Structures are given as structure tokens and as C-alpha cells.
Amino acid sequence: MKVFINPGHHVILDSGAVNPVTGDREVDVVIECAKLVEKYLLAAGVDCTVGQYNELYEICDASNAYDADLFVSIHCNACASHQARGTETYYKSFNGQRFANYIQSQIIRSLPVTDRGVKEGNLYVLKHTEAVAVLVELAFIDNPEDLALLKNRIDDFARAIARGVTDYEIA
């Protein structure tokens, strides 16, 4: 089983969501999480790589060239009111839904986050990778409580994602 891990956004061109008070950037959180997920998957004997690119098509092309079986894109959410909280995982296919359920379940069991559910999404990276693909919105970077989880428990998020991958692999 080969897993392509995509930390969303790009350090220079698109940092993603930003906390308006603290300046914490989505791109920094998700890179840290992706590297930890890779570490845990490699320790579990799973063949994986991390790929971050500027353009969405580059992400999909890299995953497809890697011949990934599974694709995980990691993001942080944001909301105009800064009041929303929680984790949600998007999928496109039937197998993607199964995969999303494993990851969402592991995160919800491991962290005190609001369960925003598993949702079908018409997102570019879900439609254009050949792997079974999910996009995980860890938490809301612009919400103070969720940001505290992202800053203090990113390792728990990473472990939960890695367990979701291995749960799917053995199912």
C-alpha cells in the first residue's frame, strides 16, 4: 500500500487560512502534521511520501505518478464568524467514504473536537487523483479553542490520521 500525503496550500504562494489574531497559518500547521503522519506510517511499515505543490494539478499528477493507493490532503478550516469548530473529512467515491470514516473516527476518538462528519465533496484533488482520496479539515484555525488543539495536540491529529490509514489498509 502506497500513501500520498498532501499538506494543503503552499508556503510562499498560498498560505491558506490565517488566524486573524495570532497570525498562525494553515500551511505551517498542515506541513507539521503531514510530516508526523509520514513518520508514523513509515514506522508502521507503510510506503508513503509527502508532496506539497503550488498548483492543484501538480498535487494530483505527483500522487498519480507515485502510483498511490491512498491520498490524504490535510487542511485547517476557517469561518467568517470565527465561531465554528470541529473536524470534517471529505471524500468522492464509495471507497473514499470508507477511508474518510476511518480517519474521522480516529480523530473524534482521540481529541476533544466537534464531529462535523464525513461529507461528499466535489473538490479538485478528490476528483483528479487515481488513489482512494480524502481531504481532512483538522479544525478551525481561526477559532481560539480549535487553534489551541492544533498548536498543542498536532501529534495526536497525526497519530489519528495514521491509524485511520492503517485501519483502512487492514479492513
Secondary structure of 12-51 in the HEC alphabet?
A: CCECCCECCCCCCEHHHHHHHHHHHHHHHHHHCCCEEEEC
The pLDDT assigned to 10 comes to 77
Q: What is the mean pLDDT of residues 136-164?
A: 98
The pLDDT assigned to 133 comes to 98
Q: What's the first-to-final CA gap in the chain, in angstroms?
A: 13
pLDDT (tens digit per residue) in 109-130: 999 999 999 999 999 999 999 9
Q: What is the mean pLDDT of residues 36-65?
A: 96
Q: Mean pLDDT across the chain, nearest whole number?
A: 96
Question: Cα(119)–Cα(97) distance, rounded to whole angstroms?
Answer: 8
For the cut 80, the answer to whether the pLDDT of residue 13 exceeds it is no
pLDDT (tens digit per residue) in 70-112: 999 999 999 988 899 999 999 999 999 999 999 999 999 999 9
Question: Cα(111)–Cα(104) distance, rounded to whole angstroms?
Answer: 11
- Total-model pTM: 0.96
Domains present along the chain, CATH in parentheses: 2-170 (3.40.630.40)
The pLDDT assigned to 170 comes to 81
Nearest of 93, 96, 107 to residue 157 by alpha carbon: 107
